[in-house]
Structure 1
Amino acid sequence: MFPGGADMQNLLKQAQQMQADYMALQQELTETEVTASAGGGLVTATVTGDGELKGVKIDPKAVDPEDVETLEDLVLAAVQAAVADSKRMAAEKMGPLGDALGGMGGGLGLPGM
């Protein structure tokens, strides 16, 4: 047995709990949706907390066959705003746990993280 073995066991338990918390938050993020709009609500985009684009809604008033470029710009702006809001929401939910685990992309080299 290593000196301080109980401390090592406690540390391992804490790491396992952090991993479980992290995985639960990741699941919550995949189920949470953020919606943003552009052009005064003419175009709306919905993105999950983990950044997956789920939908785009376009008000018929935004459709002008003579000006497709404006509609493209509105769609792009709505999607970018939704993604930015999604990232901000994810960072807030992850908080200190995300920092401790090295951000959303992984951390600590633990399986599943």
Structure 2
Amino acid sequence: MAQRGGQFGGGQPNMQQLLKQAQQMQAQLESAQAELAEAEVTGSAGGGLVTATLTGSGELKAITIDPKAVDPEDVETLQDLVVAAVRDAHRAVAELAGEKMGPLTGGLGGLGLPGL
């Protein structure tokens, strides 16, 4: 009679190895998060007339407005440019986060871990 292996292809999972890999992944994730928090990205609108600078965590650090964008008769356009620049910067933050965190978190969803 043939002997049946366990559910993992006949071998027992090496829990020590899994724990070590999880700890390495945690360290890499923390490092990527720290890098992201220190990063700054800039978004722009109106061909660079308005720029917004955000940290990698999404905190607004600065807004720069070229004097050419300031028209007292058309404040609404300037407001729209500011909103567009901030949105562009947020898009850049999301892109940067994907670059930094994606390789580390991309495969976690398949593990069946809650919240991932």
With the shorter chain as reference, the TM-score category is 0.7 to 0.9
Partner of 2:61: 54
Over residues 32-91 of structure 1, what are the superposed CA-to-partner deviations in whole Å (9 max), with x where a residue is unaligned?
A: 111121111110011122222211111111111111100000000000011001101110
Which residue of the other structure, out of 100, 107, 110, is the alignment partner of 2:107?
Answer: 100
Q: In the alignment, which of 10, 15, 19 is matched to residue 8 of structure 1? A: 15
In the alignment, is residue 32 of structure 1 matched against residue 42 of structure 2? no
**Where does the alignment leave 5 or more consecutive residues of structure 1 unmatched?**
103-107
What's the Cα RMSD here? 2.2
Q: Deviations over 1:84-104 (max 9, x none)?
A: 0110111012232121345xx
Identical counterparts, % of pairs:
65
Give me the TM-score of the superposition, normalised by structure 2. 0.78
Query: Post-superposition, which runs of at least 4 consecutive aligned residues in structure 1 deviate over 6 A?
Result: none
* CA–CA separation in structure 2 for the residues paired with 1:99 and 1:70: 40
Aligned mates of 2:108, 2:61 — CA distance in 1: 27
SS in 1 for 2:61: strand
Give the number of equivalent residue pairs: 103
Contact 1:91–1:98 at 8 Å: present in 2 too?
no
- For 1:101 and 1:90, locate their aligned partners in 2 and report how far apart those are by CA, in whole Å: 16
Gapped regions of structure 2 (runs ≥ 5): 1-10
How far is 1:16 from its partner? 0.9
Classify the secondary structure of the residue corresponding to 2:72.
coil
Contact 1:50 1:87 survives alignment (8 Å): no
Match of 1:43 among 50, 67, 87: 50
TM-superposed deviation, 1:4: 4.6
Work out the CA distance in 1 between the residues paired with 2:69 and 2:83. Answer: 13
Distance 1:41 1:33, change over 3 A: same
